[in-house]
Structure 1
Amino acid sequence: MTPDQKFARYVRLSLVGFILVFLYYVIADIWLPVTPQARVYHPVVQISPQISGRVTKVLVSNNQPVKAGDILFEIDQSTYLLAVEQAKLTLDDAKLQNKRLDTNVKALEAQISAAKAKQHEQSLLKSRGEKLYKQNSISEQELESIRANFAASKSNVAAFEAQLAEAVLARGTSGEDNLALRHGANQLAQAELNLSYTQVRALSDGVVANLQLLDGAYALSGQPLLAIVAKKADLVADFREKSLLNMHPGSLAKVVFDSCPGEVYDAKISTFEAGVSDGQLSANGLLSTTETSNRWVRDAQRQRIHLQLLKNDQALIANMPSGARATVQLLPESKFGQWLGASQIRFISWLHYIY
């Protein structure tokens, strides 16, 4: 065989190999989809103080495991202790004011009793004066004077009753339902709540991450100062949309982690993501923006799925760092396809020893 014939044979074999590989890629992308775009994500809780103040003590270190309720750092309490004392004084002042109002009410009730007694006396004098006037025993001027005294006694009773009503209204209800006491108790509760916020605690179990906080730093309310990476983990993978054509929740999968080369783990699809950020429209009052691309064949859209490891391997990813990379192989329902997919992901797992 001449060199030209050998070269022609190599070209034909290369073309046949390329066509076979291309056909396998097209078929496998639909029936045996695989993606290296998979990660382990942990929920990250940003820790922000609910009050402002100088940080007096940082009680944790970077990458330290913490439990929910553990104190992370403390804020200067002096201002908030004073606020608690001021609220207590306000509450005590409200109690004292209520006692003064109670005394005032009792004094007005006594004055009303005296005024009513005086009114009764003037009523008797008025009746006696009218009888004497009919008997011509007193003059009309004396009768008018008696009537005027009776009217004045009535007005005096009405004035004291009005003052009593105002005093009762100012006093309010008795007991803990009193408005002034409720205001004072509310201020005290708010001050004590703010005082409790001087100890910033972990809200969930996890690991302290990216701790840059030092004693003496000034903490602002609502500004994150550190993060806690929760133990709960989620394995997600991004596939082209057409690769998920024959997949559904519950479909089997194989997973290889970059941190565990040569190890293949069984998994299943738990859920499909509801959408991607490119598909989110916001009501911003602007007209819609059309997509523009100069490429003849645009990039394929990827869809995210969530996976769950089987055989109690979920604890494995719980101990992995957030962002750990993985490769996911989805399996069809046919036995041959599952065997072929398992072989393909096994080959990829061996390659993880190299790259």
Structure 2
Amino acid sequence: MAANTQQAKATRDKFAKEYQRYARGSQAKVNPFSERDIDVARQNYLAQEASVKSSAAEQKQIQSQLDSLVLGEHSQIASLKAQLAEAKYNLEQTIVRAPSDGYVTQVLIRPGTYAASLPLRPVMVFIPDQKRQIVAQFRQNSLLRLAPGDDAEVVFNALPGKVFSGKLAAISPAVPGGAYQSTGTLQTLNIAPGSDGVIATIELDEHTDLSALPDGIYAQVAVYSDHFSHVSVMRKVLLRMTSWVHYLYLDH
């Protein structure tokens, strides 16, 4: 392309000299050239000058395209490849991967459902495959006698007449009523002291009947400490009486 530009400049210079010769001749006392010859020479020069500018602009454009290579690749191609890679990444993010072994329950989404990347409202509920645990709430007065490792018994509304044994695994280090969220306004204490219970986790011993129970059902829990252990039999009797009452259905 540079050779074409040089050739156009050489032709322009030739026409420029010819036009200058006609122009100088027209200023002589006796003009050997006609007005038409002078005008033709001038038009040839101007046309070739335009051709030189066009060739130079084309050369500059080609050079700009060559300079726009990214790692040996044209910038437009590199941009399209980057867009394709981003689209593939976004497509991969539509695959929901479980954080652990488990299963999804109540899959209500259907083809065409819009799912946003912000976790404001999950599109499905994941249940991890882990050992069954019971989360119980006790009075704050009982906190003095609760300790991890204490024996525990649990009765379920869904399994009347049956008592399941377990251990107190952990006690939550915080009470739910003590949680506050920044809202830009002053907070007040609107909970009566002691009304919010202490959260404890109970791990049940293995039992075949427990595998058939769904997660989230209600139960009653009793924890037995070493303090006044000889009277714990009374609490065991009351717990079993509660389990027998579950045979009664008073709502129909």
TM-score (norm 2): 0.57
Gaps of 5+ in 2: 7-55
Give the CA RMSD over aligned residues: 4.2
Q: How many residues align?
A: 192
Which one of the candidate residues 237, 253, 259 is aligned to 2:158? Answer: 259
Shift of 1:239: 0.8
Q: Structure 1 CA distance, aligned partners of 2:87 and 2:174?
A: 45
Q: Paired residue for 1:307?
A: 202
Map 1:181-220 onto structure 2 (within 5 A).
182-195=78-91, 203=98, 205-209=102-106, 211=108, 213=109, 218-220=112-114
Q: Paired residue for 1:173?
A: 71
Partner of 1:253, secondary structure, is strand
Deviations 1:24-83 (A, max 9, x none): xxxxxxxxxxxxxxxxxxxxxxxxxxxxxxxxxxxxxxxxxxxxxxxxxxxxxxxxxxxx
Shift of 1:327: 0.7
Aligned amino acid, residue 336 of structure 1: H
Q: Structure 2 CA distance, aligned partners of 1:172 and 1:185?
A: 12
Shift of 1:284: 2.5
Q: Which is helix-richer, 1 or 2?
A: 1
Q: Structure 2 CA distance, aligned partners of 1:234 and 1:309?
A: 6
Shift of 1:245: 1.4
Largest Rg, 1 or 2: 2
Q: Paired residue for 2:226?
A: 333
Q: Structure 2 CA distance, aligned partners of 1:197 and 1:305?
A: 37
Q: Is the Cα contact below 8 Å between 1:253 and 1:266 reproduced in 2?
A: yes
Deviations 1:201-222 (A, max 9, x none): 57363253163x556xx42232
Q: Is the Cα contact below 8 Å between 2:149 and 2:168 reproduced in 1?
A: yes
Aligned amino acid, residue 227 of structure 1: M
Is 1:322 the counterpart of 2:215? The answer is: yes
Q: Is the Cα contact below 8 Å between 1:269 and 1:306 reproduced in 2?
A: yes
Question: Do the aligned partners of residues 196 and 244 (structure 1) sit closer, same or farther apart at CA in structure 2, a change above 3 Å counting?
Answer: same
Question: Do the aligned partners of residues 340 and 205 (structure 1) sit closer, same or farther apart at CA in structure 2, a change above 3 Å counting?
Answer: same
Partner of 1:191, secondary structure, is helix
Q: Structure 2 CA distance, aligned partners of 1:265 and 1:283?
A: 42
Aligned amino acid, residue 350 of structure 1: W
Q: Paired residue for 2:170?
A: 271
Q: Is the Cα contact below 8 Å between 1:231 and 1:318 reproduced in 2?
A: no
Map 1:77-226 onto structure 2 (within 5 A).
169-174=67-72, 182-195=78-91, 203=98, 205-209=102-106, 211=108, 213=109, 218-222=112-116
Aligned amino acid, residue 171 of structure 1: L
TM-score (norm 1): 0.43
Question: Do the aligned partners of residues 292 and 205 (structure 1) sit closer, same or farther apart at CA in structure 2, a change above 3 Å counting?
Answer: closer
Q: Structure 2 CA distance, aligned partners of 1:207 and 1:186?
A: 35
Q: Is the Cα contact below 8 Å between 2:134 and 2:202 reproduced in 1?
A: yes
Q: Structure 1 CA distance, aligned partners of 2:240 and 2:145?
A: 22
Deviations 1:150-192 (A, max 9, x none): xxxxxxxxx9xxx7996664223237xx865553333112323
Shift of 1:339: 4.2
Question: Do the aligned partners of residues 181 and 249 (structure 1) sit closer, same or farther apart at CA in structure 2, a change above 3 Å counting?
Answer: farther
Q: Structure 1 CA distance, aligned partners of 2:191 and 2:231?
A: 39
Q: Is the Cα contact below 8 Å between 1:255 and 1:328 reproduced in 2?
A: yes
Shift of 1:253: 0.7
Gaps of 5+ in 1: 1-106, 115-158
Shift of 1:268: 1.3
Question: Do the aligned partners of residues 244 and 337 (structure 1) sit closer, same or farther apart at CA in structure 2, a change above 3 Å counting?
Answer: farther
